[in-house]
A = this chain, B = another copy of it.
């Protein structure tokens, strides 16, 4: 607990048509053959330094199960950073950094996140992100767009969201054709 105002970021990767997961859960579409000459390159050191500032990850149970599945081949993606899984289910927990929280999202934000962390990243899935958007629990959206149209799959946004203004904070294009937009959510 540092005393700094905690910031909650929704971190999302989607296709241009707003899809965050294919029906078969395959992730190969993240890697495209695109090359954008004017794009920024990120060194491994930059990426590590950036990720080190995140002091808590939050995810829903399906995203967690998917991350567990991927970890068998690629390792656990979130290192030793505290990771909170929002779920009423009895999920397997194999690392000390992982905690399953069975309360509602409001309790998670007010009783756990705001008390203990300063830079929280919510990494999905769609239901959790929508809940955070509806209740204005998040401070910013960091959306990376992969240069592809998928057509069918799990959509990030739907008609249940209330209208809300955003403020563009940052925009970056990467060498692989990925576009990253950072928006502040006005409260």
Contact = CB atoms under 8 A, between A and B. Distances in A.
A107 interface: no
Prevailing SS type, chain A contact patch: loop
A147 B162 contact: no
Interface stretch (A44-52, A58-66, A93-101, A153-161): A153-161
Interface in A123-149: 133, 141, 143, 145, 147-149
A16 interface: yes
A183 interface: yes
Contacts of A158: 151
Contact of A17 (B29, B34, B161, B181): B161
Given A16-B143, A18-B17, A171-B173, A33 B165 contact: yes
Contacts of A67: none
B165 A148 contact: yes
B151 A163 contact: yes
B173 A179 contact: no
Nearest to A166: B147
A149 B167 contact: no
